[in-house]
Amino acid sequence: MRFGHFDDARREYVIDTPRTPLPWINYLGSEDFFSLVSNTGGGYSFYRDARLRRLTRYRYNNSPLDMDGHRIYINDGGTIWNPGWQPAKTELDRYTCRHGLGYTILQGEKNGIAAAQELFVPRGDACEIDRLTLENKTAAPRTLDVFSYVEFCLWDAMDDSSNFQRNFSTGEVEVVESAIYHKTEYRERRDHYAVFWANTPVTSFDTSRDAFCGVYGGPAAPEAVKAGHCSNSIAHGWAPVGAHHFHLTLAPGEKKSIIFGLGYIENPVGEKFSAPGIINKARAEAMMARYATDAQVDAARRALADYWQELLSGWQLTSGEEKLDRMVSLWNQYQCMVTFNMSRSASYYESGIGRGMGFRDSCQDLLGFVHMIPSRARERILDIAATQFEDGSTYHQYQPLTKKGNSDVGSGFNDDPLWLIACTAAYLRETGDWSILDEPVAFDNDVTRAQSLMEHLRRSFRYTHTHLGPHGLPLIGRADWNDCLNLNCFSEHPGESFQITGPSEGPVAESVFIAGMFVKYGREYAELCDHLHLTEEAASARTAIDAVEQATLTAGWDGAWFRRAYDAFGAPVGSRECDEGQIFIEPQGMCVMAGIGRETGQAEAALKSVEERLDTPYGVVLLQPAYTTYRLNLGEISSYPPGYKENAGIFCHNNPWISCAETVLGHGDRAFAVYKKTCPAYIEDISEIHRTEPYVYSQMVAGRDAPTFGEAKNSWLTGTAAWTFVNVSQYILGIQPTLDGLRVDPCIPHTLAGYTVTRRYRGAVYHIRVENPHAVQKGVQSVTVNGAPIAGTLLPLAKAGESVEVSVILG
Ligand code: BGC
């Protein structure tokens, strides 16, 4: 069942009912100011950091769900409604929500009044613009009371939701005409305030939640909205809010717009006040003046559309498979931008106060983003690398505002260092910008200990190389990619964090997954050494890699698949010797992607085992059989009920690894079949089962052991976005950036007759036409570039600004 449809021409997903199975959200903003907005107008806003600079409140886990947001109320002679249905939930005569690229439009109609609420974050400004357009579609004049409403967060969202003995007393506001200023803590250390304004004179306003909602009221039926006017309240402590009220009349057929804005303003310390205690509003006034008219707002919307048009024009697909085209050309890349910006910080499942930027997460997010804005990827790599320690290990997370490593969680996740090689190598393949390797980068954020980025990569490689266990496989530390496989933790007491309990290092527990990574990314590291003429270093790196590869093929092999790990007692995990958890997905994907066992037939066998044991109609589950009891030696993974999360859920992030691995063996049909199972556009029809947004990936889908098999959770912020884009663009469609230029080497379903790709690469634009006249899955028969045949599949590098015509015949 569907709850909407893709509007490909407008690049929107159009939702036809507010009663989606879960709130279906969109992200506004792509630089500093961000808002989350749901299909019923729920959500919140923040500047850069969802924890430390939160502008508006959002109550997760609320019942009813999704009550806090960017609200507009219309009181039409006692009938109170919202253009997006929530929170009043008055039945609308018409409703649509259009989620587009960086904007959302909520359209509601009731008793002949149409209201459109258009929300977006303009390029280059730290604010959200909400334009409300009202239309009287009847033949009689209509008088309405219209209200806006946001509830301010007292900046630090963690403190805001816990330290009530303080923060019930700190709230402060100022009001000047239609501008409501939220200035809590500005009197002392803060140099920033929020402004919620309207471009139209207000009839009345409120800034106290108790006054607007009523102490025992709430956003569903605020007292002020019921009364038809606000009370010009000034908040002193408690809960500061912003609410505007307009008493207006619309002539028959008349349309009227009101432009609202929610802005973040930072003042230099010396310019904080215009008079004692009075905030300096000059910057806010300038911001308001930029969006005072419809023409200005239209221009800002156009600039946003142009920006996305330009960004996406660098990777466009036409294949005749409309679902594939819309995912590759649009939604998958859009989600990659969001994961690049957010990491795992703020979504409807990530509260913004839990995790900042994940080290491994951000490195992987970059893989799907680097082609869009390489300069931002460069900056990110340097930020991430600065949270590495001198021994090559890394902080597991860092805060986006401070860019400092998070010492609560610390380090010890032994896959982290290798992801730095993965993302740097991807950046180099995309850009050819070797200067990045010479950049001085701090260790542990201490610039006095800066070394070149290349030295950071060297330490990453060395860290793994010098942390091998009894079988010659890499030690796992606290965990590897699978945060929940905690082999050195042994947590017996509720409330202990699996992430920090137990030693971060153990001399015995080893990871076959990290072994696969070491072979794959170690080889990429060795290629960088080759390029820099570090011949001896490259050779000794390859010797170390070969040894780990051998260990993987022997100690890491279980007979028909790769083992997952060895626990702290040296017992295998992910082996037929185990009573449960006999086979895991991760090492099969990573080891085969690394090419391990390709010659020996082990890779083939491993993928066969995946298909036989882990595959389901909704995707490939993480392990089988699911753990039915808690295992002290395994940790969090066995804390989940069977079928959920890492305990045999369909963890979407590693499904593309299997698809990539299938292409390594030339299995285009199977690779595409795996791709489609979790691909949002392909499963739109089962939205009532899947429940999350049908335009983006979710982190997890309940596995076949779960009572809710097929139900997704944790949409948006997942490494699935980047890995799927890498899979479909490079492994399946075969447009592969290399250190020496673009290679075209597809591995596609035999039924795909051909496709064209427009790919911007190092400043040139390649128009690539692939034809598959013999219905093969893999193999390139011929390549011509600008009409002339070339040998092999590596395209000669074009100069920036050039346009190149490429024709590829498979066979
Ligand atoms: C984390 C990833 C991790 C994955 C598997 C996600 O929630 O963000 O870093 O690899 O779970 O445990």
Please tell me the distance between residue 700's alpha carbon and the centre of ligand 1 in angstroms.
Answer: 10
**Confidence label for 288 from pLDDT (cuts 50, 70 and 90):** very high
Confidence at residue 599, expressed as pLDDT on a 0 to 100 scale: 98
350, 359, 483: which to mutate for ligand 1, most atoms within 8 A of CB?
483
Q: 269, exposed or middle or buried, with CB in 10 Å at 0-12, 13-18, 19+?
A: exposed
The SS3 call for residue 555 is coil
Confidence at residue 162, expressed as pLDDT on a 0 to 100 scale: 97
pTM: predicted TM-score of the whole model, two decimal places: 0.98
Cα separation, 177 vs 241, in Å, equals: 16
Residue 61: CB partners within 8 Å, gap ≥ 6?
none
CB contact at 8 A, 649 and 700: yes
Measured in residues, the chain has a length of 811
Higher pLDDT, 401 or 448: 448
Confidence at residue 242, expressed as pLDDT on a 0 to 100 scale: 98
Give 146's strand partners: 74, 246
Cα separation, 204 vs 193, in Å, equals: 22
| pLDDT of residue 657 exceeding 90 | yes
| pLDDT of residue 354 exceeding 90 | no
pLDDT per position as a tens digit, 417-439: 999 999 999 999 999 999 999 99
Residue 346 is given by DSSP the state B
Please tell me the distance between residue 509's alpha carbon and the centre of ligand 1 in angstroms.
Answer: 19
Please tell me the distance between residue 480's alpha carbon and the centre of ligand 1 in angstroms.
Answer: 9
pLDDT per position as a tens digit, 215-247: 999 999 999 999 999 999 999 999 999 999 999
pLDDT per position as a tens digit, 531-584: 999 999 999 999 999 999 999 999 999 999 999 999 999 999 999 999 999 999
| pLDDT of residue 408 exceeding 90 | no
Quote the strand ranges of 366-428, DSSP E: 397-398
Q: Output the ligand 1 site: residues, CB below 6 A.
A: 344, 358, 360-361, 481-484, 646
Cα angle 36, 207, 157 (rounded to 5 degrees) comes to: 40
pLDDT per position as a tens digit, 704-756: 999 999 999 999 999 999 999 999 999 999 999 999 999 999 999 999 999 99
Q: Which atom of ligand 1 is nearest to the CA of 355?
A: 8
| pLDDT of residue 407 exceeding 90 | no
Q: Any idea which residues carry the catalytic annotation? A: 483
Confidence at residue 559, expressed as pLDDT on a 0 to 100 scale: 98
Cis peptide before 87 (omega within 30 of 0): yes
Confidence at residue 507, expressed as pLDDT on a 0 to 100 scale: 95
Confidence at residue 401, expressed as pLDDT on a 0 to 100 scale: 84
The SS3 call for residue 109 is strand
Residue 239 is given by DSSP the state -
**Confidence label for 335 from pLDDT (cuts 50, 70 and 90):** very high
Please tell me the distance between residue 172's alpha carbon and the centre of ligand 1 in angstroms.
Answer: 39
CB contact at 8 A, 121 and 33: yes
Please tell me the distance between residue 416's alpha carbon and the centre of ligand 1 in angstroms.
Answer: 12
| pLDDT of residue 801 exceeding 90 | yes
Quote the strand ranges of 313-412, DSSP E: 315-318, 357-358, 397-398
Please tell me the distance between residue 15's alpha carbon and the centre of ligand 1 in angstroms.
Answer: 30
Residue 66: CB partners within 8 Å, gap ≥ 6?
23, 38, 40, 42, 86, 348
Span 372-388, mean pLDDT?
Answer: 97
342, 345, 361, 623: which to mutate for ligand 1, most atoms within 8 A of CB?
361
CB contact at 8 A, 34 and 46: yes
CB-CB neighbours of 371 under 10 Å = 24
**Confidence label for 502 from pLDDT (cuts 50, 70 and 90):** confident
Alpha-helical (H) ranges within 386-452 are 416-431
**Confidence label for 11 from pLDDT (cuts 50, 70 and 90):** very high
Confidence at residue 711, expressed as pLDDT on a 0 to 100 scale: 98
Confidence at residue 38, expressed as pLDDT on a 0 to 100 scale: 98
Pairing state of beta strands 788-790 and 510-511?
A: unpaired
Residue 328 is given by DSSP the state I
Residue 448: CB partners within 8 Å, gap ≥ 6?
none
Span 515-529, mean pLDDT?
Answer: 98
Please tell me the distance between residue 364's alpha carbon and the centre of ligand 1 in angstroms.
Answer: 11
Give 768's strand partners: 757, 806
Confidence at residue 237, expressed as pLDDT on a 0 to 100 scale: 98
Nearest of 339, 316, 287, 9 to residue 122 by alpha carbon: 287
Please tell me the distance between residue 651's alpha carbon and the centre of ligand 1 in angstroms.
Answer: 9
Confidence at residue 399, expressed as pLDDT on a 0 to 100 scale: 85
Structure tokens at 644: 């959920």
Give 133's strand partners: 116, 257
Cα separation, 261 vs 120, in Å, equals: 10
Residue nearest to atom 5 of ligand 1 (CA): 482
Q: Which atom of ligand 1 is nearest to the CA of 651?
A: 5
- Residues 423, 425, 431, 434, CA torsion sign: positive
Q: What is the DSSP string of 163-223?
A: -HHHHTTT-BEEEETTEEEE-TTTTTT--EEEEEEESS--SEEEEEHHHHHTTTT-TTS-H
| pLDDT of residue 504 exceeding 90 | no
**Confidence label for 127 from pLDDT (cuts 50, 70 and 90):** very high
Confidence at residue 70, expressed as pLDDT on a 0 to 100 scale: 96
| pLDDT of residue 505 exceeding 90 | no
Mean pLDDT (the chain, rounded): 97
Span 385-413, mean pLDDT?
Answer: 92
Burial track 26-49 (b if 16+ CB lie within 10 A, e otherwise)? bbbbbebbbbbbbbbbbbbbbbbb
| pLDDT of residue 74 exceeding 90 | yes
- Cα 61 to Cα 64, 89, 437: the distances in Å are 9, 19, 45
The SS3 call for residue 47 is strand
Nearest of 725, 722, 747, 723 to residue 734 by alpha carbon: 747
